Amino acid sequence: MATQTTAGSASGNAADRNLALELVRVTEAAAIAGGHWVGAGDKNRADGAAVDAMRSFLSTVSFNGTVVIGEGEKDEAPMLYNGEQVGDGSGPASDVAVDPIDGTRLTALGMNNALAVIAVADGGSMFDPSAVFYMDKLVVGPEAADMVDLRLPVKQNLHLVAKARGVKTNQLTVCVLDRPRHQGLVEEIRATGARTRMILDGDVAGAIAACREGTGVDVMMGIGGTPEGIVTACAVKATGGVIQGRLAPTDEAEREKAAEAGLDVDRILTTNELVTSDNCFFAATGITDGDLLRGVRYRGPQITTQSIVMRSKSGTVRMVEAEHVAKKWEKYERGNS
């Protein structure tokens, strides 16, 4: 079963339109493989299983991709490393961002909001995250997209979001990564009367939830990974929401690295600067239950998954419910991986 909402024109050729649904096969595979390790306490084995499955399925997809956000450098990550060529090589060049498990610790501990994620955009369109690993982020849905500004005080931004949504500030819920660095931010949010939803990891899920109705999340704020911010930008383009980011160097060496790369760490990076192309595809499949998606279910002869698939060019968002014959996925079971 699939449901969808569409805005704008669905221009482009059939292969382009089909790519989003091809990519969801990739995230389903990663989620099913990694999902066998939910609650097993071994995040590395979980990630390894998801990487193997994602890489295997990527080789069957009809596109010409280069991993620009992956599992690390080639020598450190033999699977899905930065610069690896993926797909069957057909069509124009594409940038690819992969996270076989966004939330490996969540998976290992059996906690909410772990996802298998992939994003694809036109070649050369994704911001290079290599200089600075962290960025301060603000993510909101389409109602407040033209109103918020990361340079404004927290209180003012939340007032603007509440006004745009037609609610009181104390009816807002703000998603924040549970980190010591966010103590001051959390105090500012709560001082406005707004509620916080603290998450251990997985800020891609939190960010997309802020752009979707019915998730219980209205805003995402705080410092998280720059690569995750770029993946999020690919997704929010399809929703009409926005992400704003500002690089957050952790030390002077990283600040100097940013300067050498010609980056202004005080500049606000918009959605369209994080990903310049409007031809973006995003797919995610739930590994564990969360605000955005339901996790993988293993029930005897059947495996069920829930995924979200987005295409920015047409503004299409699909929720995909899938049933899989468990026997055909036996090689990814924990004892066989």
pLDDT tens sequence across 148-191:
999 999 999 999 999 999 999 999 999 999 999 999 999 999 99
Which residue is listed with tokens 């990814």?
332
Kindly state the percentage of the chain with pLDDT values over 70.
Answer: 92
pLDDT of 74 reads 52
Q: Residue 91: which pLDDT band, with cuts at 50, 70 and 90?
A: confident
Which residue is listed with tokens 């960010």?
207
Q: Residue 309: which pLDDT band, with cuts at 50, 70 and 90?
A: very high
**Cα distance between residue 295 and residue 287, in whole Å:** 4
Strands 2-5 and 64-69: unpaired
Helix axis angle for 183-191 and 154-165, nearest 10°, is: 50
pLDDT of 114 reads 96
Q: With 0-12 CB in 10 A as exposed, 13-18 as middle and 19+ as buried, what is 284?
A: buried
Q: CA 98: distance to chain centroid?
A: 9
CA dihedral 289, 290, 292, 298 (to 10 degrees): -10
Element (H, E) at 199: strand 195-199
